[in-house]
Amino acid sequence: MEVFERVFWAFGPCIDGFKHCMPVICIDGTHLYGKYKGTLLVATSVNASFQVFPLAFAVVEGENTSSWSWFLGCIRDRVTQRDGLCVISDRHPGIIAAINDPNVGFTEPRAYHRFCVRHIASNLNTHVRSNDMRDMFKAAAYQRQERKLQVDLCFIGEACTKAMEYIAQVLFTMWSLFHDNGRRYGICTTNFSKTFNNVLKGARFLPIMSLVELTFHRVNKYFTLRRESSEARSDQGLPYPTKVTAILEKNTAKARYHRVDAYIVVCIFTK
């Protein structure tokens, strides 16, 4: 008797397009419902417009070290050999074990693992039962200056020692933008994977073959809409996507209040 175990799939345009995306991969799993049980694993990236970019899919028996190792291994084998990738995920033990396995292909420096800030904030809220601590942690995680980060952490420590003790258990590099060394490209959550799960709304109730076929049609439609949007901006003479334009305008406005002082440094060497 043959029993279905796992299936992995990725589409050619997704594989080719990822070469032009940020070197960031968000991974997440969601349960299948209906007659056919299992877990749908999804890997997404982020394009230059800061929009979700579907990358790869798999249906497995559940979330564990073996299934995550297999899924990530398939991505390395079939999708990308890019080095310096940043993988953003929740803190599922299976994901952590898979990424720490050198045979899978995602150990440093080939890839760098980072945690989803939203998941840590949610777990912190459950631990201390305080929405304020959750929001203060998220604010600290997004800080890009050490001074501002330290101020936020001091506020948390003074307000709730238990919250600070919980945060201290997680390495700064795993959640703090300031300590990130630019690996995340400003992406702090796995919301991109969650967003694409909405694109697949209704798919989790389908048989496996129908699920694969639906992802094909949804991805095709998704790319078509993005292409039409890009062509429309080009026809209007707009050089950058809406999100990028907003970032440039915000930074330009902020820079008006900055002052740059030039210094001449003289070095004197003596024997």
Could you tell me if 33 and 165 lie in one domain? no
pLDDT in tens, 172-202: 999 999 999 999 999 999 887 666 666 677 7
Task: Say how far apart CA 249 and CA 67 lie, in whole Å.
Answer: 44
pLDDT-derived band at 110, boundaries 50, 70, 90: very high
Whether residue 260 is contained in a domain is answered as no
Number of domains the chain contains: 2
CATH for 68: 3.30.420.10
Whether residue 218 is contained in a domain is answered as yes
Mean pLDDT of 63-78: 97
Could you tell me if 124 and 201 lie in one domain? no
**Coil, helix or strand for 269?**
coil
Could you tell me if 109 and 123 lie in one domain? no
Amino acid 239: pLDDT: 84
Could you tell me if 30 and 139 lie in one domain? no
High-pLDDT (> 90) share of the chain, %: 64
pLDDT-derived band at 83, boundaries 50, 70, 90: very high
Could you tell me if 5 and 104 lie in one domain? yes
Q: Which of 154, 183, 212 is the last residue of a domain?
A: 183
Handedness of CA 143, 144, 149, 151 (dihedral sign): negative
Whether residue 43 is contained in a domain is answered as yes
Whether residue 258 is contained in a domain is answered as no
pLDDT at 244 over 90: no
Note down the domain range covering 201: 1-116+189-238
Q: Which helix or strand (DSSP H or E) is residue 44 part of?
A: strand 39-46
Note whether 48 and 21 are within 8 A (CB): yes
Whether residue 261 is contained in a domain is answered as no
Prediction pTM value: 0.88
User: For all residues of the chain together, what is the average pLDDT?
Assistant: 91
Amino acid 183: pLDDT: 94
Could you tell me if 176 and 199 lie in one domain? no
Secondary structure letter of residue 80 according to DSSP: -
The alpha-carbon radius of gyration of the chain (Å, integer) is 22
Could you tell me if 130 and 222 lie in one domain? no
pLDDT in tens, 118-177: 999 999 999 999 999 999 999 999 999 999 999 999 999 999 999 999 999 999 999 999
Could you tell me if 193 and 108 lie in one domain? yes
